Structure formats: C-alpha cells, structure tokens
C-alpha cells in the first residue's frame, strides 16, 4: 500500500535507540515526502522553500511511559506540521496527522493495525467528515455534513471520480433503514445504470466549464422534518433538504477576468444518522435563468403533493444577492490560504455587507437569521485573527441590539476569546478553561432563554463532570432539565442525572439484540454484569479496551461474570463485522442513532466506552468505568464481596 511501506521503515526506528538519536536520524524532508492518500480536499501546511524546510525540526513523540511511539515535525517557530505515531503500542505507525496553523486538520488511521488505512477524517478548519477507506479509496462515510457532502460531490465530479460520487448517494437499503416505505424507496431511487449515466452527464457538463472546478458554497432554506407517520408508512422522523443550491466556479488565472459562475440544483438530500446523502444527484442549471423548483421526491411520493417546497424558487433579488456573494468568494478565497492575517481579516470584513444583502432579500425569518448569523461568523473570524481589535466593539454592538442575534454573537465571542487566549505564548489551558466556563455562566445570566442556552448548560455540565466536579455538574444538568426539558440537550442532561445517581440502585437494561431477539439484563440475576456502551466508530479507546474486556470476561466466566454490550452503531452490517473481527460473543443490544439514540440519551452517555458494573443482586456498584483495568479492579472487589449463597448462574 502506498506510504505504509515508508511508514513501516520509520516504525523500525521506534525501538532502535534513544529518543534524541531517533529524531536526529529522521530529516524534515523525509517526513514531508509522506503525503495524504486523499489529496483532493485536504488543505494542510507545507514549507514553501528549502530554507524553511531546513529550519524545521523533527521530535520523537513519547507516551506516558516515556516510550517512543512516533515523530512530530515542527517549523522554525515551533508550530506543528506533521505527527506520525503508533496508537496501539506496536512498532508500526498507525496514525498520520497533518496541520494547518498549528491545528490538526486531517488524519489518516490504520484503525485495526493491519498495515492498511481504514479511516481518514477532517478536523478543526478542515471540517468534520470521517470517511471509511479501503485500498486508498473512500468507500463510505461515518460522518458527513450536508455542506461537506456537496463539496465532496463537486470535487469528485471535477475529477471524474464516479466511485466517490456513488458513496454520496443514498442506497435503497439506507432509505429503507431510515424509515421509508419500500414503495416510496422504489420511486425515488435511481437504478445503478441510470445513476452512472447521470454522473457521466454531470461530469461532462461541469468539465466543459473548466478542469479545476471549485466549490464555493452550499445554500438552502432550513432543513425540514417529516415526522414518523404510521398511516403514511413512515417508521421514523426524516430530515431533508429540498431544492438547495451549490455554487461552483473555475478559478481564474492571474490577471484574467473572473471565471463564470455555475450552479447545481440539489433536488433532495436526506440525513442518515451522522451522514447526509443525496436522494437524487444535483442538476446543472444556468445561473442567468430563473431556477425552477424541482418536485420533492420523498415528500410528493408520500403525500402526493404538487410542486416543490413552500418556499418555491428563489426570487430575483435573492438570486442576485447570492450570486454576488458567490462571485466574491470565488474571486477572493485565495486570501484564506495566504497566511496573512490582515488579508484574512479583510476577506471576512468585506464579506459582511454581501451577507447582509442576502439576509435583507430573504423572505423567511429563519433564513434571514441564518445569514445574519453568518455575518457574525465573519466578524468573529476577522476579530480572531488578532489584527482587527475593533471586531470586539462591533460584536458588542450586536449584543447590545438584543434578540436572537445578540445571544448568538455573545456565544461566538466567548468561544473566540477562549481560542485567542489559548494561542498566547504563555497561555495556561486550565486557567483559560476556568475563564471560559465563567464566561459561559455569565452568558446564561444575560441570555437565560436563548437558543444557545441549552447547549451552554450541557457544556458546563459535561466540563464539570470531566473535571471531577460532580456536584457542580449535577447543578448544571438539573438547571438544564428544569429550563429546557424538551430540547435534545435537556433530554441528555436528564439522562446524565439518572446515570450519576445509579450507584446502589437496582438497574436493568432491555433492548433488541443483533438477531432481533430481546436482551434483558434482569434475566441475569445472580450474575455480576458489566454493561458496556460502545460503537465501532468510538475511536482507539473502544478498540483498545474491548479486547481486554474479552480477556477479563473469559477469566471470570466461571465466577458468574457476564458482559452485555449496548452498541450505538447505525448499521447492523458494521456491528456484525466488528464483532466478528474482535470475537465479541457477549449478548448485544443494538441501539442505532449513535450518541443520540434511545439508551444513550436515557443515561446521558457523553463518551465511549462508558461502563456500568452491576452486582449479583442487580444493583449498580460503579457507573463510571472507562477502562478495562478499572473494570478488573472493581470486579475483584465486587466478586470478593459477593454474599454466601448467591447463585452464580453458571451453566
């Protein structure tokens, strides 16, 4: 496999000598030669000339036991550029990280340690998407926002990569699993042959405008929900975009006139867990002509409505404002890559009046607020460069104006200040976190009923809990439940309170198993039971701890110990593959919808794995186990304290 061969050579050095000698043996040039497999859509920092490369330094990365686990590359200012490490304790590197402005923006991982890439993900300014990789190619997605789905689609179409485009289209099986009746799925799903023809047609149309087509932005009215409706055959809530737009253009050469703007209409997109996909592929439209709303496939198929969504096509004023914004972005996006803070600040400041023009043209109040919030985002970005201190005054003026925009601006300003303090040379993260939490508490006094308040309470509660301030966390969660009981954050907080109060209480969890049969821990009365919340996408901590739990379960099986899993994966096929790969034989409750699923919300699960240990009497003895070693220590105490006469329940 490309790149892993050289990575394996690096890994040999992990055990070859002292940390100092290891770093000395590896040159910056060698580390810079290792590039991401996914070149399209990966923007990371690389020194531009040989002098800058020669000024870089290679460091050996060590773990908590001071063992060498990989290498980091820093520029002459000490800013991180690359970090290649082993995450599984072996001598082969398993994780390759790339940085922009000192922040990790892209990572590739050999998750299962088989010396083949399994996953790539974008972070911080790079985005949020996580892709599944096989043979150096993206074959699926674990997380993908609607905006990023459209960006990846444009990149794939410009490159003529039909296979990548195919990963962005919802399959009939996925639509069925989302809750759609099979008759509707049959109507809205294009056959594989038809889809290939559509992709080929789009590739040809877009390439006619230039080989280097660039994504500018994704615009759509607010996504909407179709609630579960047994009469219509809709088994679950559906979240959709209808008749959204993608703005694209080919970058103009230096000194040449701006390239002509092009547009793609998105008839329909659907949210599938943490992944947004196209129900129908985008259509190329002429930006000089009125846009005709396409009929909404799923909604019209369900309810036989005529025409498109209530908003209809964009009016002329809205189209003109959006076009001006897209043209500006296309002509000036290079400023964001310049590294010049003044240019970056000016880009965002000049963008604000264009965003205001779009907001003024919007007829829908929610859409207007959305673009006004984008103006605040641009103001925050300019302020956060550090070269536009007047940005704080401007944001404070928005805050004084009151309303929904004021609370949003206040919330964003708190985050910007936190980031800027952490970037200071002598910044102390612990001190800064306390200041950030204090600012959030002040925010809640000013905007107690704002749209952001529920999330702020949850952030405070989670932070206090992770800081071992459980009494404070309880207060935060309680306030959230009292004030915002029906919000997602409120329901999660109610679950967190339930979880924090579990110890010493009877506990049982029930759900559908992998094979559809019910799994109920109450049936294991007399055994000591460990309930493990996990998911295959839960990261290295899950993959590190579960194999050790298997060993603990086998070691203590004859003592009446049983593990029961609660898997939060969305797709049963992934659960089956993971269980087979890791030889998980314990009973498994299958709870799709991830961290927002039924049981995850019911017990306020905020990280994975989370484990509860239940004694032979069915009472929780520990509800905060995070590692296999913690489980083993607590299990020894629990088994030793088991009263005489309690049945082990061993078959």
pLDDT of residue 97: 94
Q: Give the pLDDT band of residue 191 (cuts 50, 70, 90).
A: low
Name, in order, each residue with C-beta under 8 angstroms of 607's C-beta and a sequence gap of 6 or more. Answer: 626
Q: Give mean pLDDT, residues 526-544.
A: 87
pLDDT of residue 227: 87
At residue 576, does pLDDT exceed 80?
yes
- Burial (Cβ within 10 Å: 0-12, 13-18, ≥19) of residue 431: exposed
More confident residue, 209 or 467: 467
pLDDT of residue 142: 93
**Domains of the chain by residue range:** 4-139, 144-314, 459-500, 510-640
Contact between 70 and 36 (Cβ < 8 Å) = no
At residue 493, does pLDDT exceed 90?
yes
pLDDT of residue 200: 74
pLDDT of residue 26: 80
Tokens of 509: 């969890």
- Give how far Cα 69 sits from Cα of 285, 541, 609, 634, Å: 52, 17, 24, 30
pLDDT of residue 379: 94
At residue 578, does pLDDT exceed 90?
no
Q: Give mean pLDDT, residues 428-447.
A: 91
Helix then strand then coil, in percent of the chain rounded to 5, is: 45, 20, 35
Q: Give the pLDDT band of residue 93 (cuts 50, 70, 90).
A: confident
Name, in order, each residue with C-beta under 8 angstroms of 366's C-beta and a sequence gap of 6 or more. Answer: 221, 222
Residue 345 has phi, psi (to 5 degrees) of -60, -45
Lowest mean pLDDT of 37-46, 394-403, 436-445, name the range.
Answer: 37-46
At residue 446, does pLDDT exceed 60?
yes
Contact between 252 and 144 (Cβ < 8 Å) = no
H helix runs in 82-191, sequence order: 146-159, 162-166, 172-177, 182-188
At residue 539, does pLDDT exceed 90?
no
Q: Give the pLDDT band of residue 338 (cuts 50, 70, 90).
A: confident
User: What b/e string do you get for 367-387 counting C-beta neighbours within 10 Å, with b at 16 or more?
Assistant: bbbbbbbbbbbbbbbbbbbee
More confident residue, 187 or 464: 464
Options 2.60.40, 3.40.50, 3.10.450, 3.10.20; which CATH number does 144-314 get? 3.10.450
At residue 384, does pLDDT exceed 50?
yes
CATH 3.40.50.2000 fits 510-640, yes or no: no
Residue 215 has phi, psi (to 5 degrees) of -80, 130
Signed CA dihedral, 453, 454, 458, 464: sign only: positive
Residue 278 has phi, psi (to 5 degrees) of -75, 135
Q: What is the pLDDT of residues 24-82, one digit of tens each?
A: 568 899 899 898 988 777 889 999 889 999 999 999 998 878 888 889 999 998 999 99
Round to whole Å and give the CA distance between 222 and 232: 23
At residue 358, does pLDDT exceed 70?
yes
pLDDT of residue 647: 43
- Give how far Cα 432 sits from Cα of 40, 428, 437, 438, Å: 36, 6, 9, 10
More confident residue, 326 or 145: 145
Q: Give the pLDDT band of residue 307 (cuts 50, 70, 90).
A: very low
Cα 336–Cα 339–Cα 343 angle in degrees, nearest 5:
60
Q: Give mean pLDDT, residues 444-473.
A: 92
Looking up tokens 């034989």, which residue turns up? Answer: 585
Q: Give the pLDDT band of residue 475 (cuts 50, 70, 90).
A: very high
pLDDT of residue 301: 76
Q: What is the pLDDT of residues 158-183, one digit of tens each?
A: 777 888 988 999 988 899 899 888 88
pLDDT of residue 205: 64
Q: Which of 572, 578, 577 is nearest to 593 (CA)?
A: 572
At residue 5, does pLDDT exceed 70?
no
More confident residue, 312 or 358: 358
Give bridge partners of residue 268 from the DSSP assignment: 242, 280
pLDDT of residue 315: 62
pTM: 0.53
**Mean pLDDT of the residues in the chain:** 83
């Amino acid at each position: 496999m490309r790149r892993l061969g050289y990575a394996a050579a690096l890994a040999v050095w992990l055990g070859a000598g002292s940390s100092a000698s290891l770093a000395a043996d590896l040159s910056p040039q060698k580390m810079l030669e290792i590039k991401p497999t996914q070149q399209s859509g990966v923007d990371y920092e690389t020194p531009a000339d040989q002098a800058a490369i020669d000024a870089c330094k290679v460091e050996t990365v060590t773990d908590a036991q001071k063992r060498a686990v990989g290498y980091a590359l820093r520029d002459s200012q000490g800013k991180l550029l690359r970090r290649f490490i082993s995450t599984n304790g072996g001598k082969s590197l398993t994780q390759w990280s790339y940085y922009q402005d000192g922040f990790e923006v892209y990572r590739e991982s050999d998750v299962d340690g088989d010396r083949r890439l399994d996953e790539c993900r974008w972070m911080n300014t790079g985005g949020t998407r996580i892709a599944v990789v096989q043979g150096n190619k993206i074959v699926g997605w674990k997380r993908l926002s609607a905006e990023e789905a459209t960006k990846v689609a444009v990149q794939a179409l410009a490159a003529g990569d039909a296979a990548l485009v195919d990963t962005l289209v919802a399959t009939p099986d996925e639509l069925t699993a989302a809750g759609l009746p099979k008759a509707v799925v049959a109507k809205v799903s294009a056959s594989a042959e038809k889809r290939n023809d559509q992709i080929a047609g789009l590739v040809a149309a877009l390439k006619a405008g230039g080989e280097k087509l660039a994504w500018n932005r994704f615009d759509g009215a607010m996504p909407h929900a179709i609630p579960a409706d047994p009469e219509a055959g809709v088994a679950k809530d559906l979240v959709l975009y209808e008749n959204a737009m993608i703005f694209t253009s080919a970058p103009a050469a230096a000194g040449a006139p701006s390239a002509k703007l092009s547009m793609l209409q998105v008839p329909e997109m659907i949210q599938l867990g943490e992944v947004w996909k196209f129900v129908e592929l985008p259509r190329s439209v002429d930006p000089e002509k009125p846009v005709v709303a396409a009929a909404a496939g799923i909604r019209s198929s369900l309810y036989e409505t005529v025409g498109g969504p209530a908003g209809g096509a964009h009016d002329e004023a809205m189209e003109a404002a959006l076009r001006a914004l897209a043209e500006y972005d296309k002509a000036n996006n290079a400023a964001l890559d310049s590294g010049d803070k003044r240019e970056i600040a000016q880009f965002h400041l000049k963008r604000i009046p264009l965003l205001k023009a779009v907001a003024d043209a919007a007829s829908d109040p929610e859409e207007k607020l959305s673009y006004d919030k984008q103006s605040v985002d641009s103001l925050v970005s300019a302020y956060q460069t550090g070269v536009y201190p007047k940005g704080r005054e401007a944001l404070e003026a928005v805050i004084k104006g009151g309303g929904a925009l004021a609370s949003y601006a206040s919330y964003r300003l708190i985050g910007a200040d936190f980031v800027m303090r952490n970037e200071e040379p002598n910044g102390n993260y612990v001190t800064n976190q306390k200041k950030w939490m204090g600012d959030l508490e002040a925010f809640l006094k000013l905007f107690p009923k704002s749209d952001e308040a529920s999330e702020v309470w949850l952030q405070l509660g989670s932070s206090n809990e992770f800081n071992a301030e459980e009494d404070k966390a309880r207060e935060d969660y309680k306030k959230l439940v009292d004030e915002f009981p029906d919000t997602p954050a409120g329901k999660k907080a109610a679950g967190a309170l339930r979880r924090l109060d579990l110890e010493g209480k009877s506990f049982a969890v029930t759900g559908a198993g992998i094979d559809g049969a019910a799994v109920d821990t109450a049936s294991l009365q007399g055994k000591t039971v460990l309930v493990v919340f996990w998911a295959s996408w839960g990261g290295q901590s899950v993959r590190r701890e579960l194999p050790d739990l298997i060993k603990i379960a086998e070691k203590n099986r004859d003592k009446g110990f049983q593990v029961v899993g609660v898997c939060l994966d969305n797709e049963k096929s992934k659960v089956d593959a993971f269980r087979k790969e890791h030889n998980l034989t314990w009973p498994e409750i299958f709870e799709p919808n991830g961290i927002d699923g039924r049981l995850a919300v019911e017990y306020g699960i905020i990280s994975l794995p989370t484990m509860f240990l239940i004694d032979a009497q069915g009472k929780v003895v520990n509800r905060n186990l995070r590692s296999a070693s913690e489980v083993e220590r607590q299990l020894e105490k629990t088994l030793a304290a088991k009263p005489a006469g309690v049945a082990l329940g061993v078959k």
